[in-house]
Chain A
């Protein structure tokens, strides 16, 4: 009799089948809260609070005021321009600043830039989280990672209160890669002292629109 060596795949699966018990209690209790009892204004306030907690700067403006708000921020930060993803709405951009579209920029270009301006897909108030689905208005993942400064535009209709509500919207974006951003990068690896800004953008600034 020829004994065929099992592949590792077959072996691991066989081990699992031999080891696992019968179907356990199949019901999964999902009694946690999917939503909270907050007014829309309170949700916005909570989101802004959380961003402040994370040391991100927050601005509010109307749709029409987006270009002026961006111009004001760039002036304050003494920047002459930013990188932008290919699908960012051109009507958001103020005149007199240099916006460079990411059409195959090298990592060195991203690294040497003054920062990046993008939109987002979802925002979650309870955790101060911005979700980027890397569609054309947000660009590929490297674009919001390598530059040291990220200015992100969040529309109020993109804002939800809780993580479960956010996850439901995120599910609709799959299979695109998703990045959730809750404040600038940070570490507490040294004596548990929180240092804001390590490898991802060290400065995160948010414009809430609506």
Chain B
């Protein structure tokens, strides 16, 4: 088995990538503007829900419960989906998932596919596999189209092209769509995408999607979207193939009422996103008459195995932690070297790869706690970051300064609890950011070490104590 997460294994270490990106002031302006807009909208629609905290508690509890019974719920989903006419495939890793999908597309005799935003397929690098097999993938989400045409990489899990402004997009569209004239208003650009994709929607015979939720009890699949490109891909082709991480299952249809309230408000600051599609297997006379779903592991069961950090799998990919994160807001998403950026990327990407790659990511945080505060399923990202930092140190992969610091800390605080020890790493781990996420310490390695030598400066309270006081 070989897990890969996009191109994360060969990405630049975070501090180096970040250093390059923060030098790009246009990119920083674009990222700051976009995250500010979503944060404001989110704040408004979350504040109008009196029961927001109760919804978060339920959202978290349902996910934790599901993970404790994950095999049972997946089998229940498989049985229900199969009974309704769907075909369920299982994939251990990215390559296997890609192989299954390429084979299916070929079996149905198509050399092109229309795709609706699926980060999971970015994780497996499905487009590369499709192209290698002579199959052309058309991304249909506006942001994904911008990324695909620009041979770019997604930089946000909800708004993947937020690092591009309208002038850049206009130029890109004119070149790639062969247009002589094009306005620069967002309306003009959206209309150009509509025209470009319309004929493909009506023609292409195979659609590929991800899914936001799988419902064990009914075998239903749920896709949450805004533009209608999702409905097009899920409805018009003869064949639909969905690629979905095993952690996306929830037990009951009723559970969806929690996430359909948490997700849109957290992700885009809307009370409800324009479209949700829910389908169960195959419906005669309506939509694709062949439905395949690929259930993907690709390191997820490794994440599940660590009780300290398995709640990472609760994530509903709303992106709120990215928008809230002072580090993400400085660097943008590309610095994380993964399809999963921001705080969730910092904990998910290294864990999926068994901590063998992306070891600088757990340090890409000032541990300010903003991510935890906004997370609709209450993932304690700061605690997990600290936990992963100790894993990086234990594995001997930590940069030299941290290993030295680790030894020093172990010596100085040999009687201290593990978490207060972790707090020492937390202090060190602030390199290269201060509390505002400012990159004022670059290159930082030595700065961190220098800072750490003054052991007296570390408050005696443990991270947990400090955290609980916040």
**Residues in chain A within 8 A of chain B (CB atoms):** 7-9, 11-13, 15-33, 50, 54, 107-108, 111, 124, 126-129, 134, 140-142, 145-146, 163-164, 167-168, 170-171, 174-193, 195, 197-201
- For window 54-96 of B, CB contacts with A under 8 Å fall at 54-55, 57-58, 61-62, 64-65, 67-71, 74-75, 84, 89-92, 96
Closest to A183 in B: B274
Nearest chain A CB to B268's CB is how many angstroms away? 7
Residue contact B166 to A199, C-beta cutoff 8 Å:
no
18 residue pairs A–B, Cβ–Cβ below 8 Å: A12-B297, A19-B302, A24-B65, A31-B54, A33-B50, A33-B51, A134-B283, A141-B235, A170-B253, A174-B280, A175-B283, A178-B276, A179-B275, A182-B274, A187-B142, A188-B159, A189-B161, A198-B190
Asked whether B266 is an interface residue with its Cβ less than 8 Å from the other chain, the reply is: no
Residue contact A190 to B169, C-beta cutoff 8 Å:
yes
A-B contact sample (20 more), CB < 8 A, given A180-B276, A182-B273: A8-B89, A8-B90, A15-B302, A16-B246, A18-B305, A20-B70, A23-B69, A29-B58, A108-B202, A145-B232, A163-B272, A175-B218, A182-B271, A185-B226, A191-B34, A195-B187, A198-B228, A199-B197, A200-B228, A200-B275
What is the interface of chain A mostly: helix, strand, loop, or mixed?
loop
Nearest chain A CB to B107's CB is how many angstroms away? 18
Q: A188-B268, A192-B34, A199-B229 are in contact. Are A16 and B186 (CB under 8 A)?
A: no
Interface residues on B, range: 35 or more
Asked whether B138 is an interface residue with its Cβ less than 8 Å from the other chain, the reply is: no
Nearest chain A CB to B263's CB is how many angstroms away? 11
Alpha-carbon distance between A16 and B246 when the two chains are bound, in angstroms: 10
Chain B 194-213 interface 0/1 with A at a Cβ cutoff of 8 Å (1 = within): 10011001100000000000
Nearest chain B CB to A33's CB is how many angstroms away? 5
Asked whether B137 is an interface residue with its Cβ less than 8 Å from the other chain, the reply is: no
Residues of B within 8 A of A174 (CB): 218, 220, 253, 280
Nearest chain B CB to A197's CB is how many angstroms away? 8
Asked whether B304 is an interface residue with its Cβ less than 8 Å from the other chain, the reply is: yes
Residues of B within 8 A of A11 (CB): 90, 92, 297
- For window 217-273 of B, CB contacts with A under 8 Å fall at 218-220, 226-229, 231-232, 234-236, 246, 253-254, 256-258, 260-261, 268, 270-273
Residues of A within 8 A of B235 (CB): 141-142, 145
Alpha-carbon distance between A198 and B64 when the two chains are bound, in angstroms: 37
Nearest chain B CB to A195's CB is how many angstroms away? 4
Asked whether B285 is an interface residue with its Cβ less than 8 Å from the other chain, the reply is: yes
Nearest chain A CB to B75's CB is how many angstroms away? 8
Asked whether B350 is an interface residue with its Cβ less than 8 Å from the other chain, the reply is: no
Residue contact A185 to B58, C-beta cutoff 8 Å:
no
Residue contact B92 to A195, C-beta cutoff 8 Å:
no
Asked whether B364 is an interface residue with its Cβ less than 8 Å from the other chain, the reply is: no
